[in-house]
A and B are shown apart, each in its own frame.
Chain A
Amino acid sequence: EAGVTQSPTHLIKTRGQQVTLRCSPISGHTSVYWYQQALGLGLQFLLWYDEGEERNRGNFPPRFSGRQFPNYSSELNVNALELEDSALYLCASSLEPGNTEAFFGQGTRLTVV
């Protein structure tokens, strides 16, 4: 069975551009979580989706947004990219809300220049 898959694996964007990151959860998992792992800042919670709805949001500006599709896959969109957005973006999924066993993807490495 496939694990959590994220695409693309690496991405280079210019400041001010927009980017879309994609995540496919493990089959049967309805909850998807997004985290940012920036150098020196650790892992920061971004967004949580369950059953197509945004359930919780971390302390990030509105230019970070996303959605979850009927097949439970998810997109993370970042508008007006800033240099500080350079980070590894990790997606995780869990069978149900509660996240007591979240499975993480390999991440998307975003570099903003």
Chain B
Amino acid sequence: AQSVTQLDSQVPVFEEAPVELRCNYSSSVSVYLFWYVQYPNQGLQLLLKYLSGSTLVESINGFEAEFNKSQTSFHLRKPSVHISDTAEYFCAVIAVNDYKLSFGAGTTVTVRA
């Protein structure tokens, strides 16, 4: 079975400051890794994913995440946040042989002016 730990439940940050959301996973088999974002009163949207290849993956709105196999981590970063980035962020994994998403508990990011 896989498990995901998001180390921070709440992250307050000022506008234009950098942010890092930490995610660690455990699995006995190879996994695919994902970050989803949930804006208030909405469903989940895929932010970015790592399947294979380059360990650094980027989203279209400035987020990036780096897969670190030795540390079993997939931390999400953005160098400069906007008010509109206020949302809950979920890290998720799928075992390559399972096809079932396992989510972390989520990190609420609140961006203040």
* Interfacial residues, chain A to chain B (CB-CB below 8 A): 4, 33, 35, 42-45, 48, 55-56, 58, 90, 92, 97-107
Contact = CB atoms under 8 A, between A and B. Distances in A.
Nearest to B92: A43
A105 B32 contact: no
Given A90-B43, A100-B49, A56 B99 contact: yes
A43 B34 CA distance: 14
Interface in B75-113: 90, 92, 94, 98-106
Contacts, number: 54
A48 B20 CA distance: 32
B42 A45 contact: no
Q: Tell me if A's interface is mostly helix, strand, loop or mixed.
A: strand
Contacts of B92: 43
A91 to B, nearest CB: 9
Contacts of B44: 43, 90, 92, 104
B32 A43 contact: no
B77 to A, nearest CB: 22
B36, B43, B100, B104 — which one has the most chain A CB atoms within 10 A of its CB?
B43
B46 interface: yes
B44, B45, B90, B106 — which one has the most chain A CB atoms within 10 A of its CB?
B44
25 contacts: A4-B43, A35-B101, A42-B90, A42-B103, A43-B90, A43-B101, A44-B103, A45-B102, A48-B100, A55-B99, A56-B98, A56-B99, A58-B100, A97-B99, A98-B99, A100-B94, A101-B49, A102-B46, A104-B36, A104-B43, A104-B44, A104-B45, A105-B43, A106-B42, A107-B43
Contacts of A98: 94, 99
B92 to A, nearest CB: 8
B99 A48 contact: yes
Contacts of A105: 43
Contact of B94 (A35, A90, A99, A103): A99
B100 A45 contact: yes
Nearest to B4: A42
Contacts of A48: 99-100
